[in-house]
Amino acid sequence: MIIATNVNKRFGRLQVLSDISLTCNKGQTIALIGPNGSGKTTLIKCLLGMVIPDSGFMTVNNKNIARDWAYREQIGYMPQISRFPDNMTIEQVIDMVKDIRSGSSRHLDEELLQAFDLPSLYGKRMRTLSGGTRQKVSASLAFLFNPDILILDEPTAGLDPLSSEILKEKIQKEKSKGKLTMITSHVLSDLDDLVSEIVYLQEGKLRFHSSVSSLQKDTGEEKLNKVMARIMQQNR
């Protein structure tokens, strides 16, 4: 579904992605993890066409994304920090995005909007919202067009425990429909019971891509933070 082949990216003298090759398939929920500055967001932005690799290429459903912008219709993206026009209300922002995507044949999925009870806040202006409410708007927009691929950059950051659970349940539900989800998070406990694969980046290099079950077996640990701690110790 998503294949990256020998992707390289440099910002000035800094090599941010080094020869990344990766295959992500339908029905997988993949955690993209690694230390701050390891290149996770840059890799996501390459996939979205927001950053152009210096070399290498990426395909989505067998099409090279460098030559086909239409593929982006298949992706729902929740950025790490979302920016909305300050003076617009939640309802205006949602209507605006619906308008922009009005040519799309995809049916609208308003389940998350409803689960977060956003319609009761529709009249509020974006600049007046709390950080968590902005995250809820951003998450609801990512799922709104029923995309085949979800890319969620730190989705639970700033969400209260109940909202975080609502979002996780939604991710699970979409996974069971065969969607591909990529999630970055530094809070590994948020990823327990959610992700099936781990992609670990360090200093722009892909250190490993493994299933959670094989990592659990190799380390003898159940919880992801313990699994990762073991791996870090072994590689010191």
**Binding residues vs ligand ATP (CB under 6 A):** 11, 14, 16, 34, 36-42
* Residue (92 or 202) nearer to ligand ATP, CB: 202
Phi, psi of 182 (to 5 degrees): -115, 130
Length of the chain, in residues:
236
Is residue 89 within 8 A of residue 126, CB to CB? The reply is yes
* Residue (108 or 229) nearer to ligand ATP, CB: 229
- Least spacing, CB of residue 67 vs ligand ATP, in Å: 23
Cα–Cα distance measured from residue 203 to residue 40, given in angstroms and rounded to the nearest whole number = 10
Instruction: State whether the Cα torsion 52-198-138-35 is positive or negative.
Output: negative
Q: In what order do the strands lie in the sheet with 14-24?
A: 14-24, 2-11, 55-60, 63-64
* Residue (46 or 60) nearer to ligand ATP, CB: 46
Q: Give the burial class of 4: count Cβ atoms within 10 A of its Cβ; 0-12 exposed, 13-18 middle, 19 or more buried.
A: buried
* Residue (34 or 147) nearer to ligand ATP, CB: 34
- Least spacing, CB of residue 173 vs ligand ATP, in Å: 27
* Residue (58 or 90) nearer to ligand ATP, CB: 58
- Least spacing, CB of residue 201 vs ligand ATP, in Å: 7
Cα–Cα distance measured from residue 23 to residue 11, given in angstroms and rounded to the nearest whole number = 24
- Least spacing, CB of residue 158 vs ligand ATP, in Å: 14
Q: Which residues pair with 76 in a beta bridge?
A: 150
- Least spacing, CB of residue 48 vs ligand ATP, in Å: 13
